[in-house]
Amino acid sequence: MISVAAQMVIQGIVLAGIFLTALYALLQKDLLASALMLAAMSLLMSLEFYLLQAPDVAIAEAAVGAGVSTLVLVLGIRKTGRWEE
Amino acid sequence: MTRTFSRIVETVADFFLIFIIVFGIYIITHGHLTPGGGFQGGVVLAAGILLLLVAHGFSFARKIPEELLSDLEAIGGIAFILLASLGFGQSFFYNILWHEKLAFAEQVGRFFSGGAIPLMNLSVGLKVVAGITSGMFALSLFGGEES
């Protein structure tokens, strides 16, 4: 079993990754890169749920966040334009 | 329609589709033993179908009739309610298949255990797959210049 301090460090790294990927997705003008970065944020979020011992929520978050919502955003980008005005 | 993604994307999507479908069916059928269940596995399966849609273009969505998806979703919902009302002798959602040892009544932890729960997971999975797929097909077919 991992010690509490190591768990705090791992969760700090994961939360910093979530923050940075969300910031990148917000500031990016390329919408396709933004959608993929949101998928990465969802994946880190599901890792965080798994670390907090909720594997059921982790599977749902990975499937919905990294799977379906990314594909919906890519579908919308294919319908419209790739670059933010 | 015009091809917007390269042949690499199409080939990789075709190759990984089979793994996504196997994983989704695994999550649904082992819903009563491991994390996951009908909703999660159904979303994974729907993500596989949407991957095919995004990689191959929207004309793929026209080949599947809307009535088929609508009927599948209705079958899933009706099967869930029927399974729940099997135990009306005791109460709604009473798991009579497990308590009377009718079916899926092996020891707890085996695959064929849990009574009505695996069957309910199957029906919820069917409903989620059909529902999300039909919604996304509708989104991809309406509007846009290349539809």
pLDDT in tens, B84-126: 998 888 888 888 888 888 888 788 888 888 888 999 999 999 9
Give percent helix, percent strand, percent coil of chain B, each to the nearest 5. Answer: 65, 0, 35
Structural domain including A34 reads: 4-79
- Give domain status of residue A17, yes or no: yes
3-class secondary-structure state, position B108? strand
The Cα B17–Cα B109 span in angstroms is: 30
pLDDT in tens, A16-38: 999 999 999 999 999 999 999 99
- Give domain status of residue A85, yes or no: no
pLDDT value, residue B1: 45
Contact B35 A55 (CB under 8 A): yes
Is residue B4 within 8 Å of residue A78, measured between CB atoms? yes
Q: Is the pLDDT of residue A52 over 80?
A: yes
Is residue B50 within 8 Å of residue B21, measured between CB atoms? no
- Give domain status of residue A56, yes or no: yes
Which residue in B has a C-alpha nearest to residue A64's C-alpha?
A: B43
ipTM for the assembly: 0.82
Residues B8-33: b if buried by 16+ CB within 10 A, e if exposed: eeeeebeeeeeebeebbeebbbbbbe
What phi, psi does A33 have (nearest 5°)?
-65, -35
- Give domain status of residue A84, yes or no: no
Is residue A23 within 8 Å of residue A53, measured between CB atoms? no
pLDDT value, residue A45: 94
- Give domain status of residue A52, yes or no: yes
Q: Is the pLDDT of residue A39 over 90?
A: yes
Task: Considering only the beta carbons, identify the residue of B43, B143, B145 that sits closest to A63.
Answer: B43
Q: How deeply is A28 buried, as exposed, middle or buried, from its count of CB atoms within 10 A (0-12, 13-18, 19+)?
A: middle
pLDDT value, residue B143: 63
Residue B67: C-alpha distances to residues B72, B73, B75, B130, B134 (Å): 8, 10, 12, 11, 10
Structural domains of chain A, count: 1
- Give domain status of residue A70, yes or no: yes
- Give domain status of residue A46, yes or no: yes
The Cα B145–Cα B147 span in angstroms is: 6
Q: What does R_g of chain B's alpha carbons equal in angstroms? A: 19
Q: Mutating which of A32, A64, A73, A82 best tests the B interface, going by the most B Cβ atoms within 10 A?
A: A64
**Nearest of B136, B83, B29 to residue A69 by alpha carbon:** B136
Q: Of A23-27, A65-69, B17-21, give the lowest mean pLDDT range.
A: A65-69
Which residue in A has a C-alpha nearest to residue B48's C-alpha?
A: A67
How many Cβ atoms sit within 10 Å of the Cβ of residue A16? 11
B29 is written with which tokens?
């059928």
